[in-house]
Every structure is written in structure tokens, then in C-alpha cells.
Amino acid sequence: MTNEKAHTDTIDSTLAERRKIETTVYQPAEDSALLADAIHEQGRGRLLEVGTGSGWVATTTAADVDAVTEIVASDLNPHACHAAAQRAASSDDTTTPVSVIQGDLLTPFDANSFETVAFNPPYLPTDPDVEWDDWMEHALSGGPSGREVIVPFIDSLNRVLAPDGIGLVLVSSLAGYEEVTRYIETAGFEHSVVIEESYPFETLSVLTLRQQ
């Protein structure tokens, strides 16, 4: 089996396995833990978590990160918003207020609203012939390149960041690390790696983005 074929089979298997676990709301996984760790290290002020899924990262942050003063968790998926709101309401450990908003990426939010914006985007490259027939596919698929969601997010990030605000973005090697970082630079951001872990078929990195 060629490396490319093995890579494709691994991606298809990941989509299939995640959809067996849950077809409506993305549940915490390795990438979720990496984003939470990066927020713990660098998050501050008013924080927006885009694509919150189950709300695990948001509620973990609310319990553990004193430098974060308020959390807004958003998702396009209404089921995810419901799950995240329930998780936040039922958590006994949260000391920071968490609100949940349904919306597409950064569209619902005012300019200069957040000191920190965190995002674990869907990044699995997916054949364009695959039908988007459930919410889990939306949560995992980044289109043919793996970058079809992260690009519009980067395009809008500068608008919602407060002066000296930061973005925390998870990047998978499956989506093309160098391609993503080049796009980040073109959009006017400096970037650095906060945390990184390698797995058999991919490397996950959380980058800090700062306005140049």
C-alpha cells in the first residue's frame, strides 16, 4: 500500500469511526485537549471559542484559566450549542461565565470584541463527492484541501480581535501545515507554535496568531 493510499484510508477511517461514536456533536479528542492546553498557557481576557462542539474546551477553560474573564462558545450546529449550554450549566467547577451562541464562524460578533479567539477547525481532507449528510461530517471535514473552513476564519479574525488580542488555532499536517502558515502570514499575522504533538499519520500544532 502506498503512503498516499494509507493516508486516505486513515482519513476515511477517522470519519467513519467518529460518526459511529456520535453523528450530531463532536466529542472531546486529542485535538480538543491540545487546544485547551494552549488556552491554559496563553488565553486571557474575553475569550471566544469557535466551533465549541460539546463545550468541553469552554467549560475546562472556565474552571482552570484565571486569566480568562468571560467565555463565549459558538457553533454552527444547533445540537452542539444545546450540548455546550447544558455542559456549562451543569458544571460545578466553572468560575468564569460561559455563554453559547449559534452562528457561522466569526459572523455574529462585533469588531474588537475578544482578547483571545480559539478555534479547532474541521481539517480532514474530504473527497468532494462525499455527501454532507450529518453534522459530524461538518465537524470533521475541511473540504478537499482540509483548509476550506480555516481560510475564511483567518480572513475574519483580525476584525473581532481587540488591540493586542491573539488567535489560537489548531493546525493539522493533514491540511498542509506550510500552506496554512503561509496563508496566515499573507493575512497579516505573525505566528508561533504553542504546543505540538505527533501521531502516526499527522502532527497537530496549536499556533498563536498576533497582528503584525
Length of the chain: 212
pLDDT given for residue 101 in this prediction: 97
Q: Is the pLDDT of residue 3 over 80?
A: no
> Are residues 156 and 109 in contact, defined by beta-carbon separation less than 8 angstroms?
no
Among 5-14, 41-50, 130-139, the range scoring the smallest mean pLDDT is 5-14
- What is the pTM (predicted TM-score) of this model? 0.87
Among 48-52, 127-131, 205-209, the range scoring the smallest mean pLDDT is 127-131
Q: Is the pLDDT of residue 133 over 60?
A: yes
pLDDT given for residue 9 in this prediction: 45
- On the 0-12 / 13-18 / 19+ scale of CB atoms within 10 A, 163 is exposed
| Average pLDDT for 174-180 | 95
> Are residues 98 and 113 in contact, defined by beta-carbon separation less than 8 angstroms?
no
Would you list the domain boundaries of the chain?
3-211
Instruction: For the chain, report the end-to-end CA distance as a whole number of angstroms.
Output: 44
Q: Is the pLDDT of residue 80 over 90?
A: yes
Q: Is the pLDDT of residue 4 over 70?
A: no
Mean pLDDT of all residues in the chain? 87
Q: Is the pLDDT of residue 14 over 90?
A: no
Q: Which residue has the higher pLDDT, 110 or 94?
A: 110
> Are residues 140 and 148 in contact, defined by beta-carbon separation less than 8 angstroms?
no
Taking the CA atoms of residue 155, residue 101, residue 119 and residue 5 in that order, the dihedral angle to the nearest 10 degrees is -90
Q: Is the pLDDT of residue 32 over 50?
A: yes
| Average pLDDT for 128-148 | 74
| Average pLDDT for 182-200 | 96
Q: What's the CATH superfamily of 3-211?
A: Vaccinia Virus protein VP39 (3.40.50.150)
In this prediction, what percent of the chain has a pLDDT beyond 70?
84
- Residue 71: pLDDT band (50, 70, 90) is very high
pLDDT given for residue 135 in this prediction: 66
Neighbour count for residue 83 (Cβ, 10 Å): 23
